[in-house]
Every structure is written in structure tokens, then in C-alpha cells.
Structure 1
């Protein structure tokens, strides 16, 4: 019996991966689930033939998978050294786990990001913040899930936080101080890309905070207004979205070997776009997709399947 080529899904969070596996099964595509919270890699071994999809997350440490990204980086180097087909290659993982790397790469493609200073050490957080106009925000360099994102109106408030037991130490030690972008409404836009090409844009209501994961497993229910029978939609796919930023995003993704991603931006009061996050472990909101009739995980599964046929 001949060896069966498969689609291999590399990850550390089964809840986020379950919708993709469901779509692979519905298309009768052979796959294998590679859960990379820990493991053994024999560098003298030869990787199996197949298509490999990297879905490693920057927030893995919040699920007690502290070294999953580092282990995945080793796996990806091994796969790429043997010329295997990899979606979201090593460079994608490098950008996933570092906002500093993201912003540097975005800026290199003429994509504007908010003013940001990276700091190590609590005293340096305070020193860097003094160079910003008020208000400003903090965030973690290796983030995901809105880790360390706080809005500060003045230096004194930041100093109290930094010197308190509530201070959240970043997993890589790097805290970012970032320009606060004031938008006309409490929303951001997330552009989804599949196979490196624009798929759709979704408007996200941020009035309830910064944890913007769209996955079904992250949802706590739509915000409900007691004065109306209609729940407020936190995620809403924008029909016929067009903007020149899309071309720049596609060029940026191609240059960095990123095939599947969600890129988030905010418009200020002058309609200037500031891009602040690239998520290479992208998830999709099932309610928003059902309303729009567009399904990201299905499209990813089809893309992976089409590549498998070519092997």
C-alpha cells in the first residue's frame, strides 16, 4: 500500500483548530493533528510528504504552553530544510510572536503603524512614556488576547500600575508603549487573507474592551441592550470592502511567507489608517460568517486540499 500524503495542522489549541478539522473532514481530506505543546524532534529523520499548516499562537503561554512557539520554530526549520510545502512559514511565526518584528516589517512596506517604543525594565517603561502625548497605551510584545493592553491618561497612573502587584510582566520581558489612536467610533477593522489574497473585512466593536478574538471558543455572547430586542453585533462582515491598503497588505504577506492571516487597523478622526496587529493564527466569528455567507475555515481547507492534490 502506498504512503498517503496528508495535511498536517501544527498548533497548541484544540478549541481554535476544531473548526478547521471539521471542514477538512467534510471535504474528505486526509489530515493529521500535530499538537506541539511539547515533543521530540529527531533532526536525522525525514519529514513525511504532505502539506503543513502552521497555526502556532503568540498567546500559547496563557495556556501553560510556554515553549510551544520555540518548539514549532524548530519543526518549521526542519520541514523547510527538507523543502516541504508549508503554509505560514518560519517568518510568519517570527512575526506572530513579536509586535516589534511586525511593525518593522509593516513599515518596510509603507504601512503606517502607531508610534511605538519597546522597553525592557519597569523604569524604562516610565521613561519611554514621557515622550508620548496623552493618552497612550501599553501592550505586550508577545501578545494575543489583548495581553497587557491598558489605556493611561497620564504618567502618574502608569507609574502606579508599573509599581503595583497588578503589573503584568510580559513573557519575553518587552513592554510596548504605544500612541493611542482616537477613532470616530469604538470600532476596528480586521482584514482576513486566505492564500495571501484578501477574503473579507470585518468590523469589530471594541466598546467592551480589547480582547478581540473572533473564535467561537472565545465568545461570551453578544452584548445585549435592554431597550431593544436586537443584540449588538460585536463582529460584522463589511460588504464590498475596498481600500488601497489591501494591496499593501497582500504585498507584505507575500514578502513574509504568510498565507493565512488577519490584519487589524483603526482609522483616526482624519481617516488615516494605522495598522497595529498581524495575526497569523487567524480565527473567524461563526455568527458574522453565517450572516454574510462567507466561511474562512472552509476556504482554508479548500486551499490546503488544492495544494495536497498537486503533490
Structure 2
């Protein structure tokens, strides 16, 4: 049996991880969620340790996406004794922006003002508590999908009446204030094992697809400017608290500074957080190597 299994969906995002595992000589197996099935009365885990890398944005690439299937599968393997990294409880929060905001608020962190609804017809009423400009977001998102900006009630009502409002695969929608991000950047803090790994400034606040990976740049056609930086200590500590409270083994926390008052607003958690493109150029080192060393430790723990 291999030491490690990687459950994934995107055909290109994890090539750097696979290359790092190969360099390290780890015995692992790749498991594509696309054509997978399991027997609830059988189907033992494929390895003692399973790393989940199923993307929330998978519904964009395949209508019969594996999001909720993966939650059931990972839970099944855990019940049979496997160590599951970024497991079903993490996916349950990762796949719900509403739950993410509730978690952030529960930790005492500032978030954008938001209302959650489950009918498009209720968007305009919910917007009254927020004010314009605002964003309407799909609860299950990824790569900026399912987000629209509205600058007036008339604009929002017209889109709803035309049946063109954003839709979420779970039928949950968010109405959220549009934060003017200071300097037009967002901060993306990556964590590993509940600890801070690195942070980048991502230039492009106001855009919605801010995926930092090489493959995302290829899909967009235009690279997004990203630079390494050292966040304030309180922001680093907050990101670690978020990861630990969520049980997120590897993933990112996104923050923007509200230009109106300088408040740091936490607005997204991404447990399928792709490491930055051109990492050696941007960071001076490759975080995939750190991830592989951490995985080695998890494999050793599973053997003990």
C-alpha cells in the first residue's frame, strides 16, 4: 500500500506538488475524483494518510462535480482508520462562505457586513441592511465564480427580475458590502499545520478571480501581480487561529484593509489554496518542499 494518497480534481494545479513528492521519494498514489466510486460497506482507504485537494471551483469544470461526494468519501475513509488531511469537516466550511463568516465572527475578527438568503427574490430586501455598492455572492464559490457587483437597488432588482442573479449549487446567497481595499490589494496568508507559512500581496482587489497558481494565470491569460510581504503580527496570529479553529491542515486566509477606516476585514478562507505561481521568484523558496516535509511527519505519525 502507498504511504500517501492525494485526492484531487483539477488536472493541472497539483503538478508542482506531485513533482515535489517525486523528488522526496514518497510512495504516493494520485486519485482523481472524476470517475471515482466507493462502497459504504467496503472500499478501504487507499493509503494510511490522505491529503484532500478537491477544489471548491470544481463545479465550474464539471456539472456533476465531486464536492459533496468527496465529503462523504473522506468521512468513509476516516471511519476506517485513515488520517485525513483537510477532511470532511474542513470541506463543509470551505464550501460555505456563510459558515466561514460565522467562524470568523466567532473568533472576534472583523468581516464585511453581510446578509445570507436562500431566494433570489429576497436579495433586494437584504440589501437594504447593507447599502450600495454591494456584492452578491454564491455561497459555494471558487476562482471568483458567482459574484456580481451592484451599485443601486434598481440595478439589482432588474437582474433578479431577469433571472440573472448569481446562483449557488446549494441555493444559498450572500449580500455583502463592497469593501474599498486599500492600495487595491488583498492579503493572502497561507498556513500549514495551523501555523503561518507565508503571505503575499495580490494586486487586483475589485477583480474576483485571484487564484495565485501558475495554471490559473494560464487560464486567465493575464498574470496577476503578487509580491511577498510580512503581515502585521496580529494578522498572522489571527490567520493561525482561523486555521486551528477550522481544523484546516493546509490553506489560506484572505484579508483586505478597508480604505475607509483602516480596519483589516477577513472575508474568505480557502482550504484548497494553491501556492503562489513562480514561488522561488516571489518568495525565494518553494512552499511545496515545506508541505512535503510536513506530509512526511504525518506519515510517520500514522505508522506509529
Q: Give the structure-2-normalised TM-score.
A: 0.91
Partner of 1:178: 176
Partner of 2:30: 33
State the shift of 1:166 in Å.
Answer: 4.1
Q: Distance in 2 between matches of 1:30 and 1:296?
A: 20
Structure 2 residue 74 is matched with structure 1 residue 58: no
Partner of 1:10: 7
Partner of 1:262: 252
Partner of 2:282: 291
Partner of 2:204: 206
Q: Distance in 2 between matches of 1:134 and 1:179?
A: 7
State the shift of 1:87 in Å.
Answer: 1.0
Tell me the secondary structure at the aligned position of residue 151 of structure 1: strand
Deviates more, 1:66-75 or 1:164-173: 164-173
Q: Which has the higher contact order (CA 8 A, sep 6+)?
A: 1
Tell me the secondary structure at the aligned position of residue 200 of structure 2: strand
Q: Are the aligned partners of 1:200 and 1:241 in contact in 2 as well (CA < 8 Å)?
A: no
Q: Are the aligned partners of 1:110 and 1:248 in contact in 2 as well (CA < 8 Å)?
A: no
Q: Number of residues paired by the alignment?
A: 298
Unaligned residue ranges in structure 1 (runs of 5+): 224-232
State the shift of 1:251 in Å.
Answer: 2.3
State the shift of 1:70 in Å.
Answer: 1.3
* Alignment deviations for residues 36-74 of structure 1 (CA, whole Å, 9 cap, x no partner): 124221223232442110111211111115340111111
Deviates more, 1:34-43 or 1:13-22: 34-43
Per the alignment, do residues 222 and 237 of structure 1 end up closer, same or farther by CA in structure 2, a change over 3 Å counting? farther
Q: Distance in 2 between matches of 1:254 and 1:149?
A: 28
Partner of 1:193: 191
Q: Distance in 2 between matches of 1:67 and 1:129?
A: 31
State the shift of 1:296 in Å.
Answer: 2.2
What does residue range 89-238 of structure 1 map to in structure 2 within 5 Å?
A: 89-164=87-162, 166-206=164-204, 209-219=207-217, 220=220, 234-238=225-229
Per the alignment, do residues 22 and 106 of structure 1 end up closer, same or farther by CA in structure 2, a change over 3 Å counting? same
> Given the alignment, which residue of 279, 299, 309 partners 2:300?
309
Partner of 2:233: 243
Q: Are the aligned partners of 1:59 and 1:144 in contact in 2 as well (CA < 8 Å)?
A: yes
Partner of 1:79: 77
Deviates more, 1:190-199 or 1:124-133: 124-133
Tell me the secondary structure at the aligned position of residue 144 of structure 1: coil
Tell me the secondary structure at the aligned position of residue 14 of structure 1: coil
Deviates more, 1:288-297 or 1:65-74: 288-297
Q: Are the aligned partners of 1:38 and 1:71 in contact in 2 as well (CA < 8 Å)?
A: no
Partner of 1:228: none
> Root-mean-square deviation (CA), in Å?
1.9
Q: Distance in 1 between matches of 2:289 and 2:64?
A: 30
Q: Distance in 2 between matches of 1:187 and 1:78?
A: 40
Tell me the secondary structure at the aligned position of residue 156 of structure 1: helix
State the shift of 1:222 in Å.
Answer: 5.1
Partner of 1:271: 262
Q: Are the aligned partners of 2:5 and 2:47 in contact in 1 as well (CA < 8 Å)?
A: no
Unaligned residue ranges in structure 2 (runs of 5+): none
Q: Are the aligned partners of 2:136 and 2:166 in contact in 1 as well (CA < 8 Å)?
A: no
Q: Distance in 2 between matches of 1:25 and 1:15?
A: 16
State the shift of 1:107 in Å.
Answer: 1.4
Per the alignment, do residues 80 and 207 of structure 1 end up closer, same or farther by CA in structure 2, a change over 3 Å counting? closer
Q: Distance in 2 between matches of 1:259 and 1:52?
A: 12
Structure 2 residue 249 is matched with structure 1 residue 252: no
